[in-house]
Amino acid sequence: MSGALKEVRNRIQSVKSTQQITKAMKMVSAAKLRRAQDAIIEMRPYAKKLQEMLSNIAGNADGDVSMALATERPVRKVLVIVITSDRGLCGGYNSNLIKLAKQVIREKYAAINGKENTEILPLGKKGYEHFTKNKFAVIDQYWHIFSELNFEHVAAVSKFAMDAFEKGEVDAVELVYSEFKNAATQKFIAEQFLPVKKSERKKGETKADFIFEPDKNILIKELIPKILNTQLYKAILDAHASEHGARMTAMDKATDNAEELLKTLKISYNRARQAAITTELTEIVSGAAALQG
């Protein structure tokens, strides 16, 4: 076999092996996606209702000393929670999230010199590696959260952000994550986590009159952190489902691309084989003619 034929055959075997891997990864991601999708779909109505409750309470509790987490003040330092994945091979998922986080720092917080007065709290190895490599101030306590994802670990991250805000160590907390739409679609979102956004009363609308039982201050103090924990958990579940959807889509496209490449390589192999056979026949005919001569 000629060197050209051997090279093409080796490439065909290599592409076939890669295609088997991408097919397997697609199937694994599809299985994980089903579980992650079920989790976020079940969580969303509950989280949405709690978010509405939180905004209403914050918007109608003006002057309440216990509403420290809704207190707006001049921003001198910001904490950005960026939720990426631990692994790659999921298309532009991680790069889009990192790009959005940098855009928020550069544009929304341009007045505080962006990067210099920003702390990054990465959730996910890819974000942690990128921001550490690029010399951002990185909080490295929670980046491995996906290795054992549960509500208690998420609540610890939320508590860290709330404590930093209440102590005045940061004046705002931004959350950057991917909202799951379907397996092929994710929406990259940057939203304010702290201070708590207040619902805006329309002109002529009366202030809501909540009845609190037990004491108003005690209830609000207990309720708001729990709701914020839930909001962060919902964002992480969204991100978890988005990651698997993005990886499944990327591996599906990679498998299709491998199939197209195989077709091209097989055509090249057949042409090279035909050329080799033709050359051999030509040499045989030429040799026979020389003997006859």
Contact 261, 13 (CB under 8 A): no
The CA-CA-CA angle for residues 249, 250, 252, to 5°, reads 65
Joined together, the tokens standing for residue 223 give 């309720």
Instruction: Check residue 63 and give left, alpha or beta (phi > 0: left; psi -120 to 50: alpha).
Output: left
Please pick, among 79, 82, 83, 90, the residue that the annotation labels catalytic: 90
Other C-beta atoms closer than 10 Å to the C-beta of 246 total: 26
Distance CA 33, CA 241 (A): 6
Instruction: Evaluate whether 57 touches 196 at the Cβ level (below 8 Å).
Output: no
Alpha helical stretches, state H, the chain: 3-59, 93-103, 125-133, 151-166, 216-292
| CA 143 – CA 125 distance, rounded (Å) | 6
d(CA 83, CA 93): 11
Identify the three-state secondary structure at position 177: strand
What backbone phi and psi angles, to 5 degrees, belong to 138?
Answer: -115, 135
- Answer yes or no: 90 catalytic: yes
Distance of CA 151 to the CA centre of its chain: 18
- The SS3 of residue 24 is helix
Which of 100, 128, 250 minimizes the C-alpha distance to 188?
100
Q: Which of 45, 67, 65, 46 is nearest to 56 (CA)?
A: 67
Residue 263 to residue 256: CA distance in whole angstroms = 11
Active site (catalytic) residues: 90
